């Protein structure tokens, strides 16, 4: 059986679209969520409880994956567990470490956002959200892994191909 792809935030709005699309293509999918018991996941996915802020929680979820999609909503506090630093920087680095712990070289897809290079943008007032997003992107680029970084503006929660 082919190696799975982990979708972190796979129960979220974008992550669930990614998850469904991967399932349609016959890919094994691991949805990584802090609350898998909420039961919003499609049939056929492997469910893993983990939180990107806590490195130890990620080991089992990311072991042996061929790809990792990071589609995590950042906190907006200036500091502490709900800050962008903990999710979009520390969290990304935790994921990179866990996903490569046993020599794997997964393709990493990081969902970032528009404006990350515009430090003066008002969105950066929320816990330096844009700065930490960019630092997280840099961590992915510097990892040496194959990667894709996307910087969406506004998502419509619809599949590009309609009901495919
Ligand atoms: N929607 C847009 O218009 C838009 C525009 C630009 C960029 N983006 C970015 O695209 C990404 C996905 O957005 P979305 O709209 O799909 O957001 P969403 O519906 O809020 O989903 C994000 C997911 O992040 C997960 N998450 C949050 N903190 C986590 C943590 N510490 N550890 C593990 N998972 C965590 C949550 O999963 P659990 O609760 O299951 O743990 C949640 O399902 C985000 O980075 C967002 O900022 C979105």
Count of other CB atoms within 10 angstroms of residue 153: 7
Query: Three-state DSSP class for 113?
Result: coil
Strand (E) or helix (H) holding 134: helix 129-141
Choose one of 73, 115, 156 to mutate for the ligand 1 pocket test, by most ligand atoms within 8 angstroms of C-beta.
Answer: 73
Per-residue pLDDT reduced to its tens digit, 103-160: 999 999 999 999 999 999 999 999 999 999 999 999 999 999 999 999 999 998 876 6
Q: Which atom of ligand 1 is least distant from the CA of 156?
A: 3
CA distances from 128 to 9, 51, 99, 117, 156 (A): 21, 21, 26, 12, 25
* Digit-coded pLDDT (tens) for 38-63: 877 888 999 999 999 999 999 999 99
Would you tell me which CATH number, out of the four given (3.30.70.250, 3.40.1280.10, 3.40.50.720, 3.20.20.70), belongs to the domain 5-150? Answer: 3.40.50.720
Kind of pairing, strands 5-8 and 67-70? parallel
| CB atoms closer than 10 angstroms to residue 133 | 27
User: Which residues does ligand 1 sit against, CB inside 6 Å?
Assistant: 8-9, 11-15, 33-35, 51-53, 71-73, 87, 111, 113, 152, 154-155
Sorted by where each begins, the domain ranges of the chain are 5-150
């Amino acid at each position: 059986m082919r190696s799975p792809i982990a979708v972190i935030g796979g129960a979220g709005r974008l992550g669930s679209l990614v998850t469904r699309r991967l399932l349609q293509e016959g890919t094994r999918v691991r949805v990584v969520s802090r609350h898998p018991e909420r039961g919003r996941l499609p049939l056929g996915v492997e469910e893993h409880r983990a939180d990107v802020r806590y490195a130890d929680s990620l080991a089992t979820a990311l072991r042996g994956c061929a790809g990792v999609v990071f589609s995590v909503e950042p906190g907006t506090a200036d500091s502490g567990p709900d800050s962008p630093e903990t999710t979009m920087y520390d969290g990304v680095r935790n994921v990179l470490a866990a996903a490569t712990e046993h020599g794997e070289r997964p393709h990493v897809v990081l969902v970032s956002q528009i404006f990350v290079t515009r430090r003066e943008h008002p969105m950066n007032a929320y816990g330096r959200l844009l700065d930490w997003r960019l630092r997280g992107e840099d961590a992915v680029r510097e990892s040496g892994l194959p990667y894709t970084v996307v910087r969406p503006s506004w998502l419509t929660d619809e599949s590009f191909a309609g009901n495919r």
